[in-house]
Amino acid sequence: MGSLFAELARQASTNARREVETYAREIPEFGFLDKDARARAETLEYSMWFRRRTVELSPDNSELSGDDLGYIASMGELRAGAGMSLDARQRVLRVHTALMLREINEATEVQRGGGVDELMRMMTWFAPQGERGIGAYRQGFVRVLRRRIPYTEQVALLARSLLSGDPISVELAAAVDMELPDHCAVTVFRLPDRPTVDRFLENEIAALVKSHQVPVMWGPEGGDGSGELIALIPPFSDAAAADSAPPHAVPDLIPDHLPDLVRDFARALDRPCAVGTATAPLPELADALDRARRISRAAPLRRPSARLRPHTLADVFVELAVADVPFVDDWLRTVARRLEAGPDLLATLDAYYRHDMHRGATATALNVHTRTLDYRLRRVRELTGIDPGSTRGVRTLSAVVTRRLSGTWR
């Protein structure tokens, strides 16, 4: 055994204790190690074992055995059984990897620049075997989650892991029998009044998740009682379609089945909601969530019985820009106040623009005669000085309608 490996073997016990102390100090969920002597001893034993196996296997670039991977998986099971969160699990893996690299560096420095060949052998072993070990740990962790938590919670963990870029998503997807696509349409249902998730609603959502085969999770609850439901939908039938689409420049490139999914989930939620969606490859889903969330805040709130549909950037880019320019938003709000004097003028304009300014279709949707529609449109022109059918009218009054219906004006 070379000098680098001998130094690592000599420091194994000290380094293992440092790792356990780091867990207890830096990861809140490991605070129990200061109170549970048995758990601390098990953690220390595992840390020492891994360092000794590293020293035994790395000189000859030998692989971790099946028994080794089984032991590592059992530690993943132990941590999941103790209730460790995915975030804490990720922090444990980061801390462990950082400490192992630090220990190798410290041992190299003791050799005063020598042992370069040994260092290269160590690093050649460390990367692939470390990945195999992490994979075994993830598999053990997920095995327990599959037994201990309901299906909807497993799906929510999958959605959360995809949004955070956690590699455990591979094991979680297998656990809930879902395939991971290359791209996803991140879709946010904005709810001004978040429902109480009782057993009936949970069962409804679970049935829809299984039917549509999409990961779904609840977003954070707002201080005003608002909430959101987040779904990750494969937007393309094959990877070639996704690859041929310009990145981030195709906000309307959404899956054909997304409107049906939106309709089904909205009916289950049974309350007004606004839906925003944004497409991105898996490594960029966090940014897509931010875009979809912003789009949902600009989109109009509608009842499930109405023509509720997913909105993309192309649908509300004007309203998104307006929301960030207060004096423009105030001007639109002033125009909206003028319309309050007329009979159902906002609802009329909403239907008018949703039906591409087709008078017959608009009148039918409103259940009024076309002469009544014409009167209301004239009334809009009288109150605002803007012709609803003009270019200026479309630009201004459609933004007024969407901003009002979004519920963001208080």
Q: Please state the three-class secondary structure of the chain as a single string.
A: CCHHHHHHHHCHHHHHHHHHHHHHHHCHHHHHHHCCHHHHHHHHHHHHHHHHHHHHHHHHCCCCCHHHHHHHHHHHHHHHHCCCCHHHHHHHHHHHHHHHHHHHHHHHHHCCCCCHHHHHHHHHHHHHHHHHHHHHHHHHHHHHHHHHCCHHHHHHHHHHHHHHCCCCHHHHHHHCCCCCCCEEEEEEEEECCCCCCCHHHHHHHHHHHHHHCCCEEECCCCCCCCEEEEEEECCCCCHHHHHCCCCCCCCCCCCCCHHHHHHHHHHHHCCCEEEEEEEEEHHHHHHHHHHHHHHHHHCCCECCCCCCCCECHHHHHHHHHHHCCHHHHHHHHHHHHHHCCCCCHHHHHHHHHHCCCCHHHHHHHHCCCHHHHHHHHHHHHHHHCCCCCCHHHHHHHHHHHHHHHCCCCC
Q: Looking at residue 190, which CATH number applies to its domain?
A: 3.30.70
For helices 151-164 and 285-298, the axis angle rounded to 10 degrees is 110
- Per the domain annotation, does 410 fall within a domain? no
State mean pLDDT over 322-330.
93
pLDDT value of position 22: 93
- Do 256 and 354 lie in one domain? The reply is no
CB 167 within 8 A of CB 87: no
pLDDT above 60 for 237: no
Predicted pLDDT at 82: 84
137 within domain boundaries: yes
Is 335 inside any structural domain? yes
Convert the pLDDT of each residue in 187-224 to its tens digit. Answer: 999 998 888 877 778 889 989 999 999 999 999 887 77
Whether residue 142 is found in the same domain as residue 37: yes
Domain shared by 308 and 353, yes or no: no
For residue 240, pLDDT over 80 is answered with no
Residue 166 lies in a domain: no
Please give the pLDDT value at position 234: 85
The pTM score is 0.80
Q: What CATH number corresponds to the domain at position 53? A: 1.10.490
Of 255, 287, 314, the residue that ends a domain is 314
**Structural domain total, the chain:** 3
Q: How far apart are CA 362 and CA 109, in angstroms?
A: 78
Mark residue 61 as left, alpha or beta (left: phi above 0; alpha: psi -120 to 50; beta: remaining).
left
Residue 156 maps to a domain? no
Give the mean pLDDT of the chain.
Answer: 88
For residues 134 and 38, state if they share a domain: yes
pLDDT tens per residue across span 32-87: 888 888 889 999 999 999 999 999 999 999 999 999 999 999 999 988 888 888 88
Of 19-23, 170-174, 254-258, 316-320, the range with the lowest mean pLDDT is: 254-258
Which of 126, 148, 170 terminates a domain? The answer is: 148
| Per-residue pLDDT band at 257 (split at 50, 70, 90) | confident
Same-domain pairing of 300 and 191? yes
Residue 383 CA, chain-centre distance (Å), reads: 44
**What is the pLDDT confidence band of residue 2, given thresholds at 50, 70 and 90?**
low
Kindly state whether residues 310 and 186 are assigned to the same domain. Answer: yes
Q: Are residues 189 and 304 in the same domain?
A: yes
User: Does 157 reside within a domain?
Assistant: no
In a domain, 169, yes or no: no
Residue 121 has pLDDT above 90, yes or no: no
Q: Between 403 and 237, name the one with better pLDDT.
A: 403
- Clarify whether residues 278 and 197 are in a common domain: yes
Read off the tokens for 62: 């030998």
Read off the CATH number of the domain in which 335 is found: 1.10.10.2840
Residue 335 pLDDT grade (very low, low, confident, very high; cuts 50, 70, 90): very high
pLDDT at 315 over 70: yes
Which of 251, 282, 314 lies at the terminal end of a domain, its last residue? 314
Q: Is residue 175 part of a domain?
A: no
**C-alpha–C-alpha distance, residues 209 and 198, integer Å:** 16
pLDDT at 252 over 60: no
My answer on whether 144 and 190 are in the same domain is no
Distance between CA atoms of residues 265 and 230, nearest Å? 11
Q: Roughly how many angstroms between the first and final C-alpha of the chain, as a whole number?
A: 73
Q: Do 105 and 237 belong together in one domain?
A: no
Q: Is residue 249 scored above 50 in pLDDT?
A: no
Question: In whole angstroms, what is the distance from residue 30 CA to residue 43 CA?
Answer: 10
Q: Does pLDDT of 250 surpass 50?
A: no
Is the pLDDT reported for residue 147 higher than 80?
A: yes
Domain that holds residue 185: 181-314
Residues 252 and 370 reside in one and the same domain: no
Shared-domain flag, residues 202 and 296: yes
